[in-house]
């Protein structure tokens, strides 16, 4: 007897064929096909469930259960029910043509008395155009495919159909604190990052307000696309949690590498993946475990995180906007050009700042050292939001913008340069990544000016945001320390 069920894959459920045969031997259930200990343990649970429901294994026969494909290691929360139904059909203790149909998948846990339990990860079944029916226990949920619900093994024939219901994945808007105010320079930075979704690292002395800035910035992004939000919901469901808004996560720097990156016996997503489609705030970036800092490179570049387990590579989506803050020295007081005393030795300071340089810093499109202006007018979050709405309207109508500027390629951006642009600005960018950031940020600045073409002034301002403070930080490590 062959029936269909599901096993967990990296990022969802995939079909598995459950073969059941009887061979001479002791009356017991043997499960083959690289099942994990949780599945293997189910044989005793299934025996108890069958007995409680008035069924028996045939005497002098052993039940062999094989999970196909054989060569894949398997984990599942819902094979108990499939194996039990396979046994009942093979031993002819139930006779129902419908149950043998290839169009029915069995997915459920069993308790010792034979009641069918809906697996926690049932919500991961979101195949587009999935035309089969899934038989499981009773739940209050609806799914985008037909479900046959039954109470226990003895009442399989009384299963009721719950018709498919299209799932609405509406992303509720994020709450914005409209009255909070920022100085005009920071308001421009907030608009720029919220609009283009450029990864940001903001540095400055402790207490200068950089954390407040990134927290408010995170609430001003445009909502994620339908597909991205659906993916994000699926990741949250792997942990049995529901997602209603664009995720904004701000893990503390003491978080373990596994909690941040993902992993574990059953390969759970980490915070990096839970922030997919949203924002990941990394307050005090340099205080995070070095393993986390190096693991951030891949998702920042590719939008995916790859994990190795038992000799195989697994992947999770991890495409979020990275907003990070850092002090410029361990005590948090150092600020270039400021006379405020810093308690750190030159060596400590040099080590700290040097950790900021190089390819790691290059992954943040914008690096900015915050300095409080002497005089500036204040702009409220409400004003920033209203202006962003206008610019987004321009992007949609005039530029038919589909993705954030941060996702645009160099070739595409080069075609949008104004004819009068002096291209000598570009070769000065020291790496391909910085040149890419320069053009992307310039694109956002042109949008903020309602300009279809990227002009010279946009490139010049983009140079300030993407490169100026990187040069400044490199200069400290050479000159400033020597002077201290």
Residues that bind Zn ion (CB under 5 A): 329, 331, 333-334, 342, 344
SS3 state of residue 262: strand
Residue 115 per-residue DSSP state = B
Whose Cβ is closer to Zn ion: residue 236's or residue 352's? 352
> Least Å distance between CB 165 and Zn ion?
58
Whose Cβ is closer to Zn ion: residue 171's or residue 329's? 329
Whose Cβ is closer to Zn ion: residue 47's or residue 329's? 329
Q: How far apart are CA 159 and CA 81, in angstroms?
A: 14
Whose Cβ is closer to Zn ion: residue 21's or residue 206's? 206
> Least Å distance between CB 344 and Zn ion?
3
Whose Cβ is closer to Zn ion: residue 320's or residue 335's? 335
> Least Å distance between CB 322 and Zn ion?
25
User: End-to-end alpha-carbon separation of the chain, Å?
Assistant: 80
Whose Cβ is closer to Zn ion: residue 3's or residue 205's? 205
Whose Cβ is closer to Zn ion: residue 148's or residue 328's? 328
- The DSSP-derived string for 193-240 is HHHH---EEEE-STTSSHHHHHHHHHTTSPPPPHHHHHHHHHHHHHTT
Q: Which residue has the tokens 């990070």?
A: 324
Q: How far apart are CA 328 and CA 339, in angstroms?
A: 14
> Least Å distance between CB 353 and Zn ion?
11
Long-range contacts of 117-122 (CB under 8 A, 24+ apart): 119/76, 119/77, 119/78, 120/77, 120/240, 121/8, 121/13, 121/77, 121/78, 121/237, 121/238, 121/240, 122/78
Crossing angle for the helix pair 184-196 and 432-448, nearest 10 degrees? Answer: 110
CB of 328 within 8 A of CB of 352?
yes
> Least Å distance between CB 345 and Zn ion?
9
- Contacts of residue 88, defined as CB under 8 A and 6 or more positions apart, other chains included, come to 50, 55, 94, 153, 156
- Of the candidates 366, 406, 457, 368, which has an alpha carbon nearest to the alpha carbon of residue 195? 406
Residue 46 structure tokens: 């299934």
> Least Å distance between CB 202 and Zn ion?
18
Whose Cβ is closer to Zn ion: residue 136's or residue 327's? 327
Beta-ladder partners of 144: none
- Of the candidates 253, 294, 300, which has an alpha carbon nearest to the alpha carbon of residue 275? 300
Q: Cα dist. 51→54, 64, 83 in Å?
A: 5, 18, 14
Whose Cβ is closer to Zn ion: residue 39's or residue 344's? 344
Q: Do the strands 378-380 and 181-183 form a parallel or antiparallel pair, or are they unpaired?
A: antiparallel
> Least Å distance between CB 331 and Zn ion?
3
- Of the candidates 371, 365, 326, 388, which has an alpha carbon nearest to the alpha carbon of residue 183? 371
Whose Cβ is closer to Zn ion: residue 372's or residue 392's? 372
> Least Å distance between CB 332 and Zn ion?
6
> Least Å distance between CB 481 and Zn ion?
12
> Least Å distance between CB 328 and Zn ion?
8
């Amino acid at each position: 007897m062959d029936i269909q069920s599901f096993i967990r894959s990296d990022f969802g459920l995939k079909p598995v064929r459950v073969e059941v045969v009887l061979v001479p031997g002791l009356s017991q259930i043997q499960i083959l096909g690289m099942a994990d200990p949780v599945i293997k343990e189910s044989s005793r649970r299934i025996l108890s469930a069958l007995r409680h429901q008035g069924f028996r294994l045939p005497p002098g026969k052993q039940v062999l259960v094989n999970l196909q494909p054989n060569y894949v290691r398997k984990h599942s929360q819902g094979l108990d029910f499939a194996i039990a139904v396979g046994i009942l059909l093979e031993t002819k203790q139930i006779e129902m043509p419908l149950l043998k149909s290839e169009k029915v998948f069995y997915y459920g846990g069993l308790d010792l008395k034979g009641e069918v339990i809906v697996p926690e990860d049932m919500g991961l079944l979101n195949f587009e155009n999935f035309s089969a029916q899934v038989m499981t226990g009773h739940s209050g949920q609806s799914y985008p495919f037909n479900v046959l619900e039954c109470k226990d093994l003895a009442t399989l024939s009384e299963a009721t159909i719950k018709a498919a219901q299209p799932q609405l994945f509406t992303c509720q808007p994020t709450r914005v604190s409209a009255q909070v105010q920022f100085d005009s320079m920071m308001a421009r930075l907030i608009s720029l990052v919220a609009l283009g979704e450029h990864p940001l690292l903001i540095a400055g002395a402790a207490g200068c307000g950089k954390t407040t800035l990134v927290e408010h910035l995170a609430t001003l992004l445009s909502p994620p696309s339908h597909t991205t939000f659906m993916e994000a919901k699926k990741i949250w469901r792997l942990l049995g949690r529901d997602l209603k808004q664009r995720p904004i996560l701000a893990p503390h720097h003491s978080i373990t590498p596994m909690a941040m990156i993902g992993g574990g016996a059953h390969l759970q997503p980490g915070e990096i993946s839970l922030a997919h489609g949203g924002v990941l705030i990394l307050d005090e970036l340099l205080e995070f475990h070095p393993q986390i800092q190096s693991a951030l490179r891949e998702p920042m570049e590719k939008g995916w995180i790859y994990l190795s387990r038992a000799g195989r590579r697994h992947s999770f989506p991890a495409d979020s906007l990275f907003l990070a803050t850092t002090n410029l020295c361990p005590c948090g007081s150092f600020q270039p050009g400021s006379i405020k005393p810093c308690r750190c030795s030159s060596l400590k300071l040099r080590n700290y700042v040097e950790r900021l340089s190089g390819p790691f810093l290059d992954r943040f499109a914008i690096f900015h050292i915050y300095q409080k202006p002497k005089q500036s007018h204040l702009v409220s979050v409400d004003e920033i939001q209203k202006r962003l709405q206008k610019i987004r309207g321009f992007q949609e109508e005039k530029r038919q913008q589909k993705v954030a500027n941060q996702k645009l390629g160099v070739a595409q951006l080069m075609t949008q340069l104004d004819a009068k642009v002096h291209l000598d600005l570009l070769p000065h960018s020291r790496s391909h990544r910085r040149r890419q950031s320069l053009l992307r940020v310039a694109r956002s600045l042109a949008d903020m000016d309602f300009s279809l073409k990227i002009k010279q002034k946009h490139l010049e301002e983009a140079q300030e945001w993407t490169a100026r403070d990187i040069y400044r930080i490199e200069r400290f490590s050479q000159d400033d320390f020597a002077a201290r």
